[in-house]
Amino acid sequence: MVWIKGDKMSNLVKLLGRDEYLLSGNPSCPGCGLALGLRYALKALGKNTIMIVPASCTSIVLGPVPTSSVKIPVLNIAFAAAAATASGMSEALDILGKKNINVLVWAGDGGTVDIGLQGLSGAAERNNNFIYICYDNEAYMNTGIQRSGSTPKGAWTTTTPRGKKRSKKNIPFIMIEHRIPYVATASIAFPQDFILKLKRAREVKGLRYIHLHTPCPPGWKYPSDKTIEVARLAVLTGAWVLFEMHRGIFKLTGPSIRLIEKKYRKNIEEYLKIQGRFKGISKKMIEDISKDIDENWRYLKEKFLDNNRK
């Protein structure tokens, strides 16, 4: 399915720009979702960016000493420490008078929703000034596909061989409750949506949080050419919601706008059957997953969408 046509494409090319900040020939897997996400993110933020990377797949994608695969300064840091490091760095740059430098945390789901949550929550409460992008490949991929708090219900991982029983931790909603100035979700299948959000976020002061869906071929067990298709289906089935919470106003974006109506959402089985990690899941589990998605939409309508209109 083609979402962008004709001359809109040339605008999109202009929006992304021709400069590549993520250099080819890096250690990422073929078809890696996070690599594409990083390529987009750095195009949106540009060269005045310092990136902080906690332990994650990206730590390897950055390349071994002495060659780096990104054209911006990067500080590698310990697994739990990304948000706190960014707090220190952003305050330091500010007091040193180095304005207009984006401090970006590029962290995986493990380093955000599990071991990194304390640091992220602290930084959010203090509203430190940096952009935090969590790229969600829904498991601890770098260490060999173990489950994280962000692994969806029913998914196979090496530590949940019969499928994860609990639902995914809803970090974007938790970040909204921290009352930071900008929270959004995005998907690599919808680059225009992601990049425009990032460009808007760049102009906001305070903690900006973006949760990016980045499928992983070896971890989700699908052939590498389907990465975009998988990411797209996640959105079109309503499993992954695209939204933006900015200046206190919550809105759905892109294809998610009309998916508030259940009838427009594709059947969740389309999304599940394309991925080997959901192979052999029971009818009951599919029903549970479907119910969870409906419940998630109901909750966000009641809690966030309807509150806007008040």
Partner 1 sequence: MNIVPLAYPQKGSAKKTGYWRIFRPKINYEKCIKCMICWLYCPEGSISIINNKPVIDYDYCKGCGICANECPVKAIEMVKE
Partner 2 sequence: MILSGNYAAAYAAKLARVNVIAAYPITPQTQIIEKLAEFIENGELNARYIRVESEHSAMAACIGAAAVGARPFTATASQGLIYMSEMLWWAAGARLPIVMGVVTRALAPPWSIWSDHSDILSQRDTGWLIFFPESAQEVLDTIIQAYKISENEEVLLPIAVAWDAFYISHSYEVVDVPSQRNVDNFLPSRKKYKHTLDIDNPFSHGNLVFPEYYMEYRYYIDDASNSSKKIIREVDEEYYKIFGRTYGGLIEKYRCDNAEYLFISLGAFSGDIKEAVDRLRNRGYRVGFIRIRCIRPFPSNDIKEVMKDINGAIIIERDFSFGKGGILSTETKSALYSLNIPIISYIAGIGGRDVGYEDFIKIFQSSYKCFNLENIPEKPIWYGLRVIK
Residues in the site for partner 2, rule: CB under 8 A?
A: 47-50, 52, 59-60, 62-65, 68, 70-78, 80-96, 98, 101, 118-119, 121-122, 125-126, 128
Pairwise CA distance, residues 235 & 241, whole Å: 6
10 binds, among partner 2, partner 1, none (CB under 5 to 8 A by kind): partner 1
Whichever of 40 and 240 has its CB closer to partner 1, that residue is: 40
Helical ranges in 170-264 per DSSP H = 171-177, 191-202, 217-220, 227-236
Asked if residues 85 and 116 have their Cβ atoms less than 8 Å apart, the reply is no
Query: What is the closest distance, in whole angstroms, from the C-beta atom of residue 63 to partner 2 in the complex?
Result: 6
Query: What's the token pair of residue 26?
Result: 């890096």
Phi, psi for 157 (deg, rounded to 5): -145, 175
Query: What is the closest distance, in whole angstroms, from the C-beta atom of residue 216 to partner 1 in the complex?
Result: 11
Query: What's the token pair of residue 283?
Result: 């009818």
Whichever of 11 and 267 has its CB closer to partner 1, that residue is: 11
Whichever of 74 and 176 has its CB closer to partner 2, that residue is: 74
Query: What is the closest distance, in whole angstroms, from the C-beta atom of residue 76 to partner 2 in the complex?
Result: 4
* Placement of tokens 């902080």 in the chain: 52
Site string for partner 1, 164-193 (x = CB under 8 A): ---------------------------x--
Residue 5 within binding range of partner 1, rule CB under 8 A: yes
Whichever of 178 and 273 has its CB closer to partner 2, that residue is: 178
Angle (nearest 5°) at CA 37 between 169 and 115: 35
Q: Which of residues 11-50 bind partner 1 (CB under 8 A)?
A: 12-13, 16, 18, 20, 22-33, 35-36, 39
Pairwise CA distance, residues 175 & 3, whole Å: 29
Question: How many CB atoms are closer than 10 A to CB 39?
Answer: 20
Phi, psi for 54 (deg, rounded to 5): -80, 175
- Residues in contact with partner 1 by CB under 8 A are 2, 4-6, 9-10, 12-13, 16, 18, 20, 22-33, 35-36, 39, 62-71, 191, 217, 223-229
